[in-house]
Amino acid sequence: MTAINSPHDESLELTRTFTLVIPILLVVVPFAALLIGEDYSFYRTRMITEAGLIEHATVLFSVLGFVFALLVVANRKSCPRPWMTYFMLLFALGFFYIAGEEISWGQHLFKWDTPQWIGEANRQNETNLHNLHLSLDRIPKTIIGVGIVLSGIVWPLFSHYRGVKIENVEGDWYWLWPNSVVRVTAVCFLIVWLLDRLMVQTDLLSGEGYSIGFQEHREMIMLYFLLLYTASIYLRVKARGETAGSS
């Protein structure tokens, strides 16, 4: 990741490795894994299980997002708006919660048995909250997913064709709204989301005892989008502080 020269120059915030190459790999690699083994065995056992690569990547992105959110808070004197500190604290809590939920608060690492009172209510007999009820899992992810599509795809298209741009670098929207670094990831997210819905509705990748969807795949790219967004804000805030310090 490279820092921008000034808050105005978003093209230098993150290298293409992070904004283009990694998002594409996050789509292609899991789909390529479907071709390994009979009955999608590699994908089912090594990619989407609780100990699979997708799950580990989701936790990693959550931890990195947590770190970047705290870095914004640590550089709050360089933030142009007071609300950004509280906003990034909220993001830090969100990343921490997601990482904890993904590893069932340590159960996947330390292999403890789920307490009976939780297991009876939890759909997957795990020590987490999002499996207590479908609404606790689906509603937040749907809201975030819609936000990703609107901010990362719909808004850029509207902005391009209607000539509406967010140019005031001292304004609230400039610091709140995702910029160009997330756009490829947003497109990748939408592709996987649509394919996931297709798989769920048609059971195209199903067999004896299993039915494959791409929910975990979609969640991983969702977290990468949020990571890019948070890292972008941090780099802009950092560059703003360096500019103010040198003037």
Tokens at 124, concatenated: 């997957």
Non-local (6+) Cβ contacts of 145 within 8 A are 189, 193, 218, 222
Q: Let me know if 67 is exposed, middle or buried by CB neighbors in 10 A (0-12, 13-18, 19+).
A: middle
Confidence (pLDDT) at 42: 92
Asked if pLDDT for residue 176 goes beyond 80, the answer is: yes
Q: What is the pLDDT of residue 1?
A: 43
Gap between the Cα atoms of 203 and 200, Å rounded: 6
Q: What does DSSP assign to residue 14?
A: S
Confidence of residue 6 (pLDDT cuts 50, 70, 90): very low
Q: How many CB atoms lie within 10 A of CB 59?
A: 19
Instruction: Enter the DSSP assignment of 105.
Output: G
Judged by DSSP in three states, 90 sits in helix
Rounded to the nearest 10°, the torsion over CA 194, 195, 197, 199 is: 170
- Give the model's pLDDT for residue 17: 94
CA 100 from centroid of its chain's CA atoms: 15
At 146, is the pLDDT very low, low, confident or very high (cuts 50, 70, 90)?
Answer: very high
The better pLDDT of the pair 236, 247 is held by 236
Euclidean distance between CA atoms 115 and 119, whole angstroms:
6
The pLDDT assigned to 49 comes to 84
- Which tens digits make up the pLDDT trace of 99-142? 988 887 565 555 556 556 455 555 565 655 555 566 667 888 99
Q: Which segments within the chain are labelled E, that is strand?
A: 206-207, 210-211
Residue 202 vs residue 182, higher pLDDT? 182
Judge whether residue 19 has pLDDT over 80: yes
Judged against a pLDDT cut of 50, whether residue 11 lies above it is answered with: no
CA distance 118 to 123: 10
Q: Which residue has the tokens 């009976």?
A: 116
Most confident of 45-59, 83-97, 133-147: 83-97
- pLDDT tens for each residue of 198-230: 988 888 888 877 888 899 999 999 999 999 999
pTM of the model: 0.88
Angle of CA points 24, 62, 41, to nearest 5°:
55
Exposure class string for 136-168: b at 16+ Cβ within 10 A, else e: ebeeebeebbeebbebbbebbeeeeeeeeeeee
Task: Look at residue 2 and tell me whether its pLDDT is greater than 50.
Answer: no
What is the 3-state composition of the chain as percent helix, strand, coil, each rounded to the nearest 5? 70, 0, 25
Which residues partner with 211 through β-bridges?
206
